[in-house]
Structure 1
Amino acid sequence: MKSRITCHIKTISGLAILVAFGFIINACAPTISQFNETAYQQAVELKVRSMSLIDRADEPYSGHEEAAQQLKQDMLTAFEYAKGRPKNDISARQWEIMVDPDRNLMGGFLARWEEQQTLSPAFIGEYSGVVADAFDTIIGLESGKIKPGEVE
C-alpha cells in the first residue's frame, strides 16, 4: 500500500513539474510582434515627409493641401497596417495617437494648420520636436523588435 501511495505522489509531482514547465515555456513566448521591414520603412518615410511638411507650415495650408491630405492617408494606412499585425497593440496605439486630429501629434498639427492656414515659426519649432520624438518612438519600437530567425 505504501509503495502505491509513493507511486501516486511521484506521478502527481511529475505532472506538476510538467505543468509548471509548460507555464514557464509559455511565459517565454514573445508578447510583441516580430520586426517588420515594411512597418519600419513606412515609419521612416512618413517621418521624413511629416518633418518636411511641418517646415512649410508658415505658408498657407491651401498651397500644401494635396501633400497634407496624402500624408494623412498614408499615416492612416500605416495605422491600419499596424493594427492588422498580431501582437502589435503597442505600435498600433502609437499610430492611433499620431494620426488623431484631436491629439497633439501629426494629426493635430495638420488639423490646426488647416484651420488657421498659417502657423507661427515658434509654434512650428515646438511641434517639430514633439512630432519627431513621437516618430522616433515608433521607429525605435519597430527596430528593437526581434528579427525573424533571431533568438532573444
Structure 2
Amino acid sequence: MKKIKLNYLLLLATSFLISCNALKTAPYDQFSYQKTTEIKVDAIRLIDKATSLYQDNITEILHLENEIAKIVEYEKYKPNNELTYEMWQILANENKNLLAGFFKRWKEKEKLSPFFVKEAKTQITEAMNLLLQYEGKKETALKNQLLELISKN
C-alpha cells in the first residue's frame, strides 16, 4: 500500500514539474502578434524602396525604427518571453544582418542594388514569418527553429 502511495506521489510530482516547465513560455499575446505583423508589412514595403535614395525615405525609416524600439521594450518586460525578446533584439541590432542591419547598410551605401534588396528581403521576411508563427502558436518545433535562427545571428 505504501508503494502505491509513493508511486502516486511521484507521478503527481512529475506531472506538476512538467506543467510548470510548460508555463515557462509566454502565452499568446494579441498585441505582440498584431504589432509584429504591422512592423513586418511596413518593413517589407520599405525594403522594396531601398533601390532609391535612403534620404528620400528617411521619415518612414525613422518611424519604423521607432516602432521597432517600442516592441523591443514591450517584449523585454513580458514574463517568460526570453526567446521572442532575443529575436527582436537581433532584428533591431544594426550590427546584425537582419532588419536594422539592412537599414544601416542602406544608409551607408545611399541606395542598394536590386539583387541585394531581393536577397535581404527574403531573409528578413523568413525571420519575421518565423517570429509571427512562433508568437501565434508557441509550438516546440517553431521554438527550435527560432532558436536555430538566433544561434546563426
Shorter-chain TM-score category?
A: 0.7 to 0.9
Aligned match of 2:50:
57
Instruction: State the secondary structure of the residue aligned to 1:118.
Output: coil
Comparing 65-74 and 50-59, the one that deviates more: 65-74
Higher relative contact order (CA 8 A, sep 6+): 1
Task: State the distance in 2 between where 1:13 and 1:86 align.
Answer: 38
Give the Å deviation of 1:16.
7.0
Q: Supply the distance in 2 between the matched residues of 1:19 and 1:77 (Cα, whole angstroms).
A: 45
TM-score by length of 2: 0.82
Structure-2 residue corresponding to 1:68: 61
For 2:146, the equivalent position in structure 1 comes to none
Q: Which moved more, 1:75-84 or 1:115-124?
A: 75-84
Instruction: Report the 3-state secondary structure (helix = DSSP H, G, I; strand = E; otherwise coil) of the residue aligned with 1:28.
Output: helix
Deviation for aligned residue 1:73: 1.2
2:17 maps to what in 1? 26
Q: What fraction of aligned residue pairs are identical, expressed as a percent?
A: 26
Match of 1:6 in 2: none
**Regions of 4+ moved over 6 Å:** none
Name the structure where helix makes up a greater proportion of residues: 2
Alpha-carbon distance in structure 2 between the residues aligned to 1:13 and 1:26: 20
Write the letter of the residue equivalent to 1:33.
A
Which residue, out of 83, 100, 103, partners 2:76? 83
CA offset digits 1:78-128 (Å, max 9, x no partner):
111111111111111111111100000001000011111100000000000
TM-score by length of 1: 0.82
Aligned residues: 137
Question: What secondary structure, in the 3-state scheme, does the structure 2 residue paired with 1:101 have?
Answer: coil
Unaligned runs of 5+ in 2: 140-153
CA RMSD after TM alignment: 1.8
Quote how far apart the aligned CAs of 1:17 are: 4.4
Q: Using the alignment, how far apart are the partners of 2:127 and 2:84 within structure 1?
A: 11
**Unmatched 5+ stretches in structure 1:** 1-8, 147-152
1:103 matches 2:109: no
**Distance in 2 (alpha carbons) for counterparts of 1:82 and 1:15:** 42
Deviation at 1:53, TM superposition (A): 0.2
